[in-house]
Amino acid sequence: MSLFAFGDDDLARLAERHGTPAFVYSAAVARAGLQRLRAALPERVRLAYAVKANPHPDLLRLFADLGASFDCASEGELRRVAGLAPGRVFFAGPGKRTAELALALEQGVRVQAEGWEDLERLDALARAPVAVNLRVHPAAGVAESNRIIGGVGPSAFGVDEEALPDVLPRAAALTHVRVRGLHVFAASNERDAAKLLATHRMVLDLGRRLTEQHGLDLEQIDLGGGLGVPYAPGEAPLDVDALGRGLGDLLREHAWFRGELILEPGRFLAAPCGVYLARVVRTKESRGTRFAILEGGVNHLLRPLLTGQAFPVRAVGRAVGRAVGRDGPTAATTLAGPLCTSLDRLGTVDLPDLRPGDLLAFGTAGAYGFTEGMTHFLSHPVPPEVWVA
Ligand SMILES: Cc1ncc(COP(=O)(O)O)c(C=O)c1O
């Protein structure tokens, strides 16, 4: 499985035509990824694409046309998907403003309440019965290798599992709001289907307990995102068939639950379709370290700084009319961006001898790339995002 959505020739042409630095996205790769995952999952599992991973309008339209639902986490995201998938939108997020809750109600969006305050404010805003899902912060979960969701310690997300006996009876007494679903998101970038399924099993067990103890009538159980992708050559991809089979088994084991499961992958659906392109501005040796200083750095790809994990990178040969990256000798090269901070590093990787103007491609950059970047920092130009249909 390639970590790059395009071959060298296409990347060189795209860089020529659109300039660099730039993000390029392959519609074909995005479509194939969604269809592959959909085909592996039981029918009773709904796919809601997490818009935060990449809110590019063409990507959203493609996924909407393929029948996906959407997981939004801000007014901006709600507005981006407005009209694309009526009745197929969810709204999560730990700090929802009242105006955002009102917009969600107006748009018929299903709210994932993150605590008592969301329930209370929704109840005051609603004029008719409204079904919501309650986000629960579980007492146990998948251990994250990089702290993104935050593990099982204190959390800004959801209601702590142990607070449910207090919150659920109060929720049942509200006038308009009805808790008809649970939402638990406890993993991130997990490529091991068994680990994901262990969390999903825990969530269904929790759903059963809450149904028995609090008389909940659950029509949805949202298992969150967290489906992982490889970022380094040799890393095994998530086995989506195993995930699909496991979810089918769970649905059969939990016959009490007649509703639908929801998965909200962001990274898994968006990452593989994107490549970030940047040229080398200059190279230097400093006290034994070989540097290549690029046109863009953590202002465009912040993830290496946040998680310590680099994007896969390769030199694009054709761009400079010589066989860069093919057969020549390679050496460890530290990739620095143009920012005035030593935090601006995109990793240290084995690369051929680079020269100014050489083109580098960063793969798997379709998720949490442009959207997570600091594109205004130092007032460098904002990179174009090119959708290749
Ligand atoms: C509520 C919610 N759902 C889904 C996602 C998507 O996660 P991932 O991209 O890891 O699948 C996130 C990411 O932060 C999230 O907060």
Per-residue pLDDT, 147 = 54
C-alpha distances out from residue 7 to 26, 34, 99, 224, 386, Å: 11, 21, 45, 33, 15
- Where is the domain boundary, 271, 292, 327? 271
Q: How many domains does the chain have?
A: 2
Residue 13 lies in a domain: no
Per-residue pLDDT, 282 = 98
Within the chain, residue ranges assigned H as helices are: 8-18, 27-40, 57-65, 75-81, 98-106, 116-125, 164-172, 193-214, 240-253, 267-270, 303-307
Q: Is the CB of 302 under 6 A from ligand 1?
A: no
User: Which CATH number belongs to the domain containing residue 229 in this structure?
Assistant: 3.20.20.10
Residue 1 lies in a domain: no
Distance between Cα 126 and ligand 1 center (Å): 27
218 and 351 assigned to the same domain: no
**Mean pLDDT for the stretch of residues 77-100:** 97
308 and 251 assigned to the same domain: no
- Position 313, amino acid: V
Average pLDDT over the chain reads 93
287 and 188 assigned to the same domain: no
- Asked if the model's pLDDT at residue 322 lies above 60, the reply is no
Which residues are known catalytic residues? 340
**C-alpha 11 chain-centroid distance:** 24
312 and 215 assigned to the same domain: no
Q: Is the CB of 349 under 6 A from ligand 1?
A: no
Residue 21 lies in a domain: no
Which mutation among 34, 46, 52 tests ligand 1's pocket best, with the greatest number of atoms within 8 A of CB?
52
218 and 282 assigned to the same domain: no
Q: Is the CB of 271 under 6 A from ligand 1?
A: no
- Asked if the model's pLDDT at residue 249 lies above 70, the reply is yes
Per-residue pLDDT, 190 = 94
User: Which CATH number belongs to the domain containing residue 308 in this structure?
Assistant: 2.40.37.10
Per-residue pLDDT, 319 = 45
Q: Which long-range contacts (CB under 8 A, 24 or more apart) does 215-219 make?
A: 215/172, 216/168, 216/179, 216/180, 217/180, 218/180, 218/181, 218/182, 218/257, 218/259, 219/131, 219/180, 219/181, 219/259, 219/260
CB 51 within 8 A of CB 356: no
- Where is the domain boundary, 271, 291, 315? 271
Alpha carbon nearest to ligand 1 atom 10, residue:
226
Per-residue pLDDT, 149 = 58
267 and 284 assigned to the same domain: no
- Asked if the model's pLDDT at residue 226 lies above 90, the reply is yes
Per-residue pLDDT, 141 = 67
- pLDDT band for position 189 (cuts 50, 70, 90): very high
81 and 150 assigned to the same domain: yes
**Mean pLDDT for the stretch of residues 204-218:** 96
283 and 259 assigned to the same domain: no
239 and 318 assigned to the same domain: no
Residue 320 lies in a domain: yes
Residue 14 lies in a domain: no
| Paired tokens of 337 | 């961006």
Separation of alpha carbons 46 and 41, rounded Å: 9
**Mean pLDDT for the stretch of residues 227-250:** 96
Atom of ligand 1 lying closest to residue 187 CA: 10
Q: Is the CB of 158 under 6 A from ligand 1?
A: no
- Asked if the model's pLDDT at residue 6 lies above 80, the reply is yes
- Position 342, amino acid: S
Q: Which residues pair with 25 in a beta bridge?
A: 274, 387
- pLDDT band for position 150 (cuts 50, 70, 90): low
281 and 263 assigned to the same domain: no
Enclosing domain of residue 374 = 272-388
- State if pTM tops 0.85: yes
- Where is the domain boundary, 225, 252, 271? 271
Residue 347 lies in a domain: yes
CB 192 within 8 A of CB 167: no
- Asked if the model's pLDDT at residue 327 lies above 80, the reply is no
CA–CA–CA angle 85, 179, 98 (5° rounding): 65
Separation of alpha carbons 306 and 140, rounded Å: 24
Residue 18 lies in a domain: no
Which mutation among 191, 223, 264 tests ligand 1's pocket best, with the greatest number of atoms within 8 A of CB?
264
**Mean pLDDT for the stretch of residues 359-375:** 96
**C-alpha 371 chain-centroid distance:** 10
CA atoms within 13 A on the CB side of 166: 7
178 and 325 assigned to the same domain: no
Per-residue pLDDT, 222 = 98
Per-residue pLDDT, 143 = 53
Residue 22 lies in a domain: no
124 and 42 assigned to the same domain: yes
